[in-house]
A and B are shown apart, each in its own frame.
Chain A
Amino acid sequence: MPNIEDYEAMTKISLSEDERAVVSDYMDMLLDSFNKLEDTDVSGVEPLISVLDVKGPMRDDLVIKTISREELLSNAPEQHDGYFQVPRTVD
């Protein structure tokens, strides 16, 4: 049985005790339902990544400026001197 705390750490989410109980119940239900996949033989089947069977369009190597720095930073919760700002990541 997967350990919910491991996935909380992976997704940077910390569940409260109540939330963890709910998530745990759903997880049990879902994993139980996933067992059904085992009965299907998929040998020789290629995974389907996208239903679209088209060639990826490519872009020429041209520089286009779409938004100003001011506009970009206007959405930032914290900024400083043109930078995005976060707590210190190293000592």
Chain B
Amino acid sequence: MKYETVMGLEVHVELATKSKLFCACSTEFGSDINENVCPVCAGMPGTSLMVNKKAVELAIAAGLLTNSEISPRITFDKKNYFYPDLPSGYQLTQLYSPICKNGWVEIETDAGKKKINLVQIHLEEDAGKLIHDDWTDTTLIDFNRAAVPLIEIVTRPDFRSAEEVVAFLEKLRSLLSFADVSDCKMQEGSMRCDLNLSVREKGTEKLGTRTEIKNMNSLKAIAAAIAYESQRHIDALETGDEVLIQETRRWDDSIGATFSMRDKEDATDYRVFPNPDIMPVFIDDEWIDAVGSNLPETAQDKFIRLTQGLGLPEYDSEIITRSKNLSNIFDETLKHFNNPKEVANWIIVELLSIAKGDNKGEDDVRIDCRKFAKLIELVDGRTINRNVGKKILSLILEEGIDPVEYAEKNKLGMINDTSLITSTIQEVLSENPKALEEYRGGSKKVHGFFVGQIMRKLGGKANPQIVNKLLVEALKEI
């Protein structure tokens, strides 16, 4: 390979606060249109901005998790431009005093471990949402997301491959979601990233012409965009057919290519200046320590606890600690039924397969962990069998049923009554002389046939272990 791709990221992460950055409007996702908007976040005059303490704390947490320096005093700046999703005509951000500086995140790829350096992390407000309506041929504006708190994480141009970029974003998602800083969902837009990319000949120092790519909303899209854009740069360098210009380009996932965003003026002068209306927020060591000591377990710590503390296989622990949601379900269920192996098993095998069938990701599965624990206990205690258990799991997810009540009401409990099972075995054996003959002739296959017949007669509820044991004994006596 003659060329080297040099990349940097700007990652926007929506903070998991209940209210907005400067006003008390809800940040809830999926609320009714313009329901969470007040005079402050609608940009009305005469309003005053109050910094959300929790947003500052979450940004401090992000700084601690990325080994950043936390600024002792922060202010907010006004970035001025006109766009219909921006209610005030300016965005509040932090150009002059970002909350975190000079952090780093360690990533691991097949090529080994590497430190990715961060320029800064700053707090800013999100914009509203524009919907382009064909029916009215107008653009409609919903300001529910306007002024929702974000952090923007800016890296140095330290990436050399798509693998590194993906590994970084996964690491960031793990760090931030486990610390409850953000749910980091790329699909829902709570984690978004812009990429700066340039290509140069290996061994040279000078960076090539840089393009910025926007609108990639999955890791897959990012990897594809990097592959496409690198090749475009290399082709331009090789053939000279196209002259690269510094510009912003939009990734089109359906076409699989980047396109110049000519309407976006790169030369916009944002006229950023300090907002004199928001008094500086002071962050002392005591506050930083308090945030640090309240940080929840990281995915890495949790992995160690699951494997070394609870004795779970690395494979299971890997899956559970890949998602904050799954690992919450694991911990919560374990509180009600303390059998790590079984709980892990039910999450990985049953819960995830149902979720997959419903087209839900591991972050989107929701279950009442008490009911889930009861269900696992019913199966583990052989009160119901596993197949019945799977059906009940679906009903917990769909209808929220209580597994114990449901099993009782529908008489789903397993039959452990040996005399009933014994008499059923005798019935089956006498009704199937031909099969019995085959068994005597040495065919072991018919064992399974007998089990099937016995189970059918008992409505599928017989305890399979007892059936097996008694059938073996009955056959021996013949």
The chain B residue sitting closest to A72, CB to CB, is B37
CB distance from B78 to the nearest CB of A (A): 11
Partner of A89, one of B26, B33, B38, B130: B130
Q: Does A90 count as interface, using CB distance less than 8 angstroms?
A: yes
> How far, in whole Å, are A71 and B351 apart by their CA atoms in the complex?
45
Q: Does B143 count as interface, using CB distance less than 8 angstroms?
A: yes
> How far, in whole Å, are A12 and B81 apart by their CA atoms in the complex?
10
Q: Does A10 count as interface, using CB distance less than 8 angstroms?
A: yes
> How far, in whole Å, are A62 and B141 apart by their CA atoms in the complex?
25
> How far, in whole Å, are A83 and B420 apart by their CA atoms in the complex?
68
- Interface bits B44-84 vs A (CB < 8 Å: 1, else 0): 10000011111110000000000000000001000000101
Determine whether the beta carbon of B25 is less than 8 Å from that of A65. Answer: yes
Determine whether the beta carbon of B17 is less than 8 Å from that of A50. Answer: no
CB distance from B168 to the nearest CB of A (A): 29
Chain B interface residue count, Cβ-Cβ cutoff 8 angstroms: 48
The dominant DSSP class at the B interface is: loop
Chain A interface residue count, Cβ-Cβ cutoff 8 angstroms: 35
The chain A residue sitting closest to B141, CB to CB, is A84
CB distance from A15 to the nearest CB of B (A): 17
Quick check: which of B112-120, B184-192, B269-277, B465-473 contacts chain A, the rest being far away? B269-277
Determine whether the beta carbon of A82 is less than 8 Å from that of B280. Answer: no
Q: Does A59 count as interface, using CB distance less than 8 angstroms?
A: yes
Task: List 4 extra interface pairs beyond A54-B279, A80-B138, A83-B140, CB under 8 A.
Answer: A55-B280, A69-B32, A75-B44, A86-B84
Q: List 26 A-B contacts (CB under 8 A).
A: A10-B269, A12-B82, A50-B279, A54-B279, A55-B280, A55-B282, A56-B280, A60-B53, A62-B18, A63-B19, A65-B24, A65-B25, A69-B32, A69-B33, A69-B34, A80-B136, A80-B138, A81-B33, A81-B140, A82-B32, A83-B33, A84-B34, A85-B136, A85-B141, A86-B138, A89-B132
Chain A residues, Cβ within 8 Å of B25: 63, 65-66
Q: Does A49 count as interface, using CB distance less than 8 angstroms?
A: yes
The chain B residue sitting closest to A78, CB to CB, is B138
Partner of B140, one of A12, A62, A69, A85: A85
CB distance from A89 to the nearest CB of B (A): 5
> How far, in whole Å, are A57 and B51 apart by their CA atoms in the complex?
7
Determine whether the beta carbon of A61 is less than 8 Å from that of B54. Answer: yes
Q: Does A37 count as interface, using CB distance less than 8 angstroms?
A: no
> How far, in whole Å, are A2 and B282 apart by their CA atoms in the complex?
39
Chain B residues, Cβ within 8 Å of A61: 17-19, 52-55
Determine whether the beta carbon of B18 is less than 8 Å from that of A63. Answer: yes
CB distance from B89 to the nearest CB of A (A): 9
Determine whether the beta carbon of B138 is less than 8 Å from that of A63. Answer: no
- List residues 20-59 of chain A with CB under 8 A from any CB of chain B: 47, 49-50, 52, 54-59
CB distance from B25 to the nearest CB of A (A): 7
> How far, in whole Å, are A27 and B191 apart by their CA atoms in the complex?
45
The chain B residue sitting closest to A56, CB to CB, is B279
Determine whether the beta carbon of A85 is less than 8 Å from that of B139. Answer: yes
> How far, in whole Å, are A49 and B448 apart by their CA atoms in the complex?
84
> How far, in whole Å, are A11 and B173 apart by their CA atoms in the complex?
39
Q: Does B39 count as interface, using CB distance less than 8 angstroms?
A: yes
- Interface bits B6-23 vs A (CB < 8 Å: 1, else 0): 000000000001110000
**A50 in contact with B276 given A56-B281, A69-B32 (CB within 8 Å):** yes
The chain A residue sitting closest to B85, CB to CB, is A89
Determine whether the beta carbon of A57 is less than 8 Å from that of B140. Answer: no
Chain A residues, Cβ within 8 Å of B139: 85-90
Q: Does B42 count as interface, using CB distance less than 8 angstroms?
A: yes
The chain A residue sitting closest to B143, CB to CB, is A84
Determine whether the beta carbon of A84 is less than 8 Å from that of B140. Answer: yes
**A82 in contact with B42 given A61-B53, A64-B24 (CB within 8 Å):** no
Chain B residues, Cβ within 8 Å of A89: 84, 130, 132, 139
